[in-house]
Chain A
Amino acid sequence: MNMKGCDKLVDVGRRQFLRGSVMATAGAAATTVLSSNEAKARPAPARVEYPSNRLANVSQLKPNEPLDITYPDKSSPGVLIKLGTRVPGGVGPAGDIVAFSTLCPHKGFPLNYVAGDKTLTCPGHYSVFDCEKGGLQVLGQSTQNLPQFTLRVAANGDIFAEGVDELIYGRLSNVL
């Protein structure tokens, strides 16, 4: 898939994100029946609200060929990979589809996919992350394992990203 098409998918996701947020706020106001001033004083939820973004359709993925995506927004690059073998956290009919941030959590260098090892590696400081093991850092200087995007596959094969399990490099909130 080319980058342009990929971006389009993300745009769809962003629109859904915006719409979803607005709806959530409205819903909260409706159920608590508070004035707008008091509603502002409500504590924020413990975790950030992640958008549900469509990344691709299962049919578009080829085994061991990473697809560039972004999540939870356009400035956060990642990859969607059909690994070819069932892995913990994998989705899809074969349980082998995963997605990760491709900003190295050490210093933010863009990671490269090594198809032979099914790892993402960092040209900056040589960190290696295992895509088959939830982004476990095999060796390297990051103090986190690689942020993985939580995926859901709809009945029609559309793949949605709906969460992140670690802090993405370069942002102090996963959703900006």
Chain B
Amino acid sequence: MAFKRYIDRLPIIPPDAKKQNVTCHFCIVGCGYHAYTWPVNKQGGSDPSQNIFKTDLSKQQGGETDAWYAPSMYNIVQQDARDVHIVIKPDKGCEVNSGLGSIRGARMAEMSYSKARATQQQRLTHPMVFRYGQMQPTSWDDALDLVTRVTVAMLKEPGGEDNLFVSAFDHGGAGGGYENTWGTGKLYFGAMKVKNIRIHNRPAYNSEVHATRDMGVGELNNCYEDAELCDTIVAVGTNAYETQTNYFLNHWIPNLRGTSLQKKQQQLAGEPHAAGRIIIVDPRRTSTVAACEIEAGKDNVLHLAIESGTDMVLFNAILTHIVEKGWHDKEFIAASTKDFDKAVAANKTSLADAARITGLKAEDIAKAAAWIAEPKQGRRRRAMFAYEKGLIWGNDNYRTNAALVNVALATGNIGRPGGGCVRMGGHQEGYSRPSDAHVGRPAAYVDQLLIEGKGGVHHIWGCDHYKTTLNAHKFKQAYKKRTDIVKDAMNAVPAGDRPAQVAAIVDAIKKGGLFAVDVDIVPTKIGEACHVWLPAATSGEMNLTSMNGERRMRLTERYMDPPGEAMPDCLIAARIANHMERVLRELGDAKYADQFKGFDWKTEEDAFMDGYHAHEKGGQFVTYERLRAMGTNGFQEPATEFKDGKIVGTKRLYTDGKFSTKDGKATFMEAQWRGLQAPGKEEQKKKFKYLINNGRTNHVWQNAYLDQDNEFIMDRWPYPFIEINPHDMKELNVSAGDLVEVYNDDGSTQAMVYPTPTAKRGHTFMLFAYPTGVQGNVVNAGTNELILPNYKQTWANIRKLASAPASVKHLSFKSQEYKMG
């Protein structure tokens, strides 16, 4: 049977409950919520005078009511060391989500640490060190002393700071935010100049969207309302219903339904308007495609199910066709761009050639071009371009990104209402760091260097390579071997003899070992190999600022205590810096020790003022107090002034036609097709039968670091699914729910068969980054020239491991597409 909570009533929020601002800490959309807390021995009642909604709760409430919350939105947590009831429910007043909560965000309360209700008991509560053969709790001072003494010892060895490898989040939301990126940034890029550093989901320190930045077009340049205003949404490699749910439901769907028509007429008077159309570029028929067809009608949805990895050819053909038809925006091109003619000539692609390579019909490509750019009764058509991992983690990232931005620029769709060429985003953003210029370009391929035995000390912040890297199978084998060398050395020396411990570790490192420190909120897979775990606080256990996909900055207020002794990452970084300074002074290196000054922060607000407030564009207008007053709507970055008690923001970028280049002109870029670009891909495709396309699912946030301890989710997905066409299943002799091995020359992993009649023969789709079956195991090591991984174009064979185990017998394997009754 499906998992049921048997909760048949919930405590009612009393009128005097404390109410705080919350931005969902999961995906980029950043839905607005409020946290309501009240003492555990009090409760509201159903009479209007007894509850915060001023509503008679003895009556059934209607659809979309504010006066209801699901069991997943409730918990008992600690606040200022006292047990309190908490309800975290979506905010109707937030422009982002208008009261909608997704299957991920609306579980924030349930996925909070609660001793009373035994939720998220996996959380790290105390520093842990490897002692007597296992991880043991210890004090912060003891753990940090060990970390810094080993780190300093390796900094003093030949190679200096290049011996220190770092994996660190660079984003917003949970495991990030302006406070924490500044804390880690100031430590590794300010006090030190660490260049062997990588980001949470890729093996190097680089942008996922280098090309658009090089062209002068920042990747988050529009506002969510543009999706309501445009004539056509162009969605590339994004399954928005499942992964940016409330952006899709609250801003795309109204346009496709035609319910944003009035808004269009008001804001964009003097031109014809109709309900929106959508072009979806995705080799797979997703639940997003199905929902769009229902709402807009099939005639207004153009699903271009291209041959995986050929997006660049499609975009070049669309550009070529638009220019041939004369539909490009000549005025805009002349005033605000350069190298248009050069790029058009270099990227010229005929409809016929594009049809051959992409597997699409020529007339569908022409239709896409018309939907994007054919003038509507003499007026310029408005198109909004949104792309995500299908492009970013796909073939030839840099050129493909450029080819899409070319189309947006050529049609004058950046900096204007109903336009934009944006990444959809995964997590929220919250980047504030000293310059990373010393990292270089291309950046170091950190995971490969670790496999090769480079580096002596590894500091890991909120990253889990074991789940989220390419060539993961080989990485894990090498990483375990190297960290085991250090574990064995630590075991051979009494834990209480610190100098002997440090000497033994350094000696082990010289023999190929690696000393690993994991800063995280939960025990991770890579953490199993590490020697020190440092417990971090997450959003809501600390005040945290981030921005969403339309650069909307909010403050999530601290509504509960962190578990045990966990601390905000920024303060952990500061304490590491303090200990580094102390140890270096002890060693008599005053000059180096001085570099670690400036970390006397007591609170996350100190880090915010030192970082974002003092360093970021418009930061001088932004403080915690002002952000609190701006509520769940916040403001859109950059801030331009503080006026009438409000921070004034920027709705869209580039509205003046001036772009982020030295001369202010956006640059068209050459993007020529060169087949499967990453080394090893073409060979893999030839040798193995099945495309192992991969990505996210609606239920799960990121690599399931919290979901893995949530019964509702693990009941649905005990294993990662792999969608397979039923005819392929027959050939493989497998049934729904069977466990299969996915394998190739690079590694192997497991997944659970999900019959999918809409899947093309030979094309599978596997859940990415899942703890019980890591898709990255079968992704080869090949990257693009800037060390961007290509997870999407992966080929492997499939064989049966086991018939459907008892743990999946209760599952549904029905179509995930919405159908009308």
Q: Interface residues, chain A, CB within 8 Å of chain B?
A: 47-48, 75-76, 88-89, 103, 105-114, 116-117, 119-128, 130, 132-146, 148, 164-167, 169-176
Contacts and interface: CB of A to CB of B under 8 A. Distances in A.
Given A75-B59, A121-B821, A176-B58, A165 B4 contact: yes
A112 B101 CA distance: 21
A146 B815 CA distance: 17
B820 interface: yes
B502 interface: no
B106 interface: yes
Contacts of B12: 172
Contact of B1 (A76, A89, A122): A89
Contacts of A146: 2
Contacts of A124: 63
Contacts of B818: 121-122, 126-128, 139
A139 B57 contact: no
Given A108-B61, A137-B716, A88 B10 contact: no
Contacts of A128: 814-819
Contacts of A119: 814, 819
Contacts of B249: 125, 141
A19 B524 CA distance: 55
Interface in B1-52: 1-10, 12, 46
B334 interface: no
Given A127-B818, A167-B9, 12 more contacts: A48-B8, A108-B64, A108-B65, A126-B291, A128-B814, A136-B812, A137-B716, A143-B101, A143-B106, A167-B7, A173-B9, A173-B10
B60 A109 contact: no
29 contacts: A88-B810, A107-B64, A107-B100, A110-B63, A117-B815, A121-B818, A121-B821, A122-B818, A127-B818, A128-B814, A133-B810, A136-B716, A136-B811, A139-B698, A139-B818, A140-B103, A141-B101, A141-B102, A143-B107, A144-B712, A148-B4, A165-B5, A167-B9, A171-B57, A171-B60, A171-B61, A172-B57, A173-B46, A174-B9
Contact of B819 (A110, A117, A167): A117
A75 B56 CA distance: 14
B125 interface: no
Given A117-B815, A126-B287, A88 B64 contact: no
Given A109-B63, A133-B811, A144-B5, A138 B816 contact: yes
* Residue from A105, A108, A117, A141 whose CB has the most chain B CB atoms within 10 Å: A141
Contact of B103 (A109, A122, A143): A143
B9 A138 contact: no
B8 A47 contact: yes
Interface stretch (B67-75, B133-141, B568-576, B630-638): B67-75
B6 A165 contact: yes
A150 B5 CA distance: 14
Contact of B814 (A107, A110, A130, A172): A130
B60 A88 contact: no
Contacts of B63: 103, 107-110, 124, 169-170
B2 A170 contact: no
B245 interface: yes
Given A88-B1, A107-B63, A133-B811, A164 B8 contact: yes
Nearest to B245: A141
B819 A134 contact: no
- 9 closest pairs, A vs B, by CB? A112-B821, A136-B2, A126-B818, A108-B63, A75-B60, A143-B72, A173-B9, A130-B812, A134-B2
B68 A171 contact: yes
Nearest to B246: A141
A106 to B, nearest CB: 8
Contact of B8 (A107, A148, A174): A174
B645 interface: no
Contacts of B106: 141, 143
B716 A113 contact: no
B27 to A, nearest CB: 13
A139 B8 CA distance: 23
B120 to A, nearest CB: 15
Given A125-B249, A172-B10, A143 B60 contact: no
A111 B60 CA distance: 17
Nearest to A147: B4
B814 A167 contact: no
A160 to B, nearest CB: 18
B768 interface: no
Contacts of A108: 61-65, 68
B182 interface: no
B821 A142 contact: no
A137 B249 CA distance: 18
Nearest to B71: A167
Contacts of B69: 172
Contacts of A123: 820
Given A126-B287, A133-B810, A169 B819 contact: no
* Residue from A110, A125, A165 whose CB has the most chain B CB atoms within 10 Å: A125
Contacts of B205: none
B241 interface: yes
B754 to A, nearest CB: 10
A139 B106 CA distance: 15
Nearest to A112: B821
A173 B12 CA distance: 10
B697 to A, nearest CB: 8
A166 B6 CA distance: 5
A72 to B, nearest CB: 10
B97 to A, nearest CB: 11
Contacts of A109: 63
Interface in B161-203: none
B10 A132 contact: no
Interface string B789-821: 000000000000000000000111011111111
A142 B102 CA distance: 7
Interface string B267-301: 00000000000000000000100110010000000
Interface string B213-250: 00000000000000000000000000001100100010
B500 to A, nearest CB: 52
B8 A173 contact: yes
A107 B63 CA distance: 6
* Residue from B57, B70, B72, B107 whose CB has the most chain A CB atoms within 10 Å: B70
Contact of B9 (A141, A144, A172): A172
A169 B811 CA distance: 23
A165 B71 CA distance: 12
A133 B65 contact: no
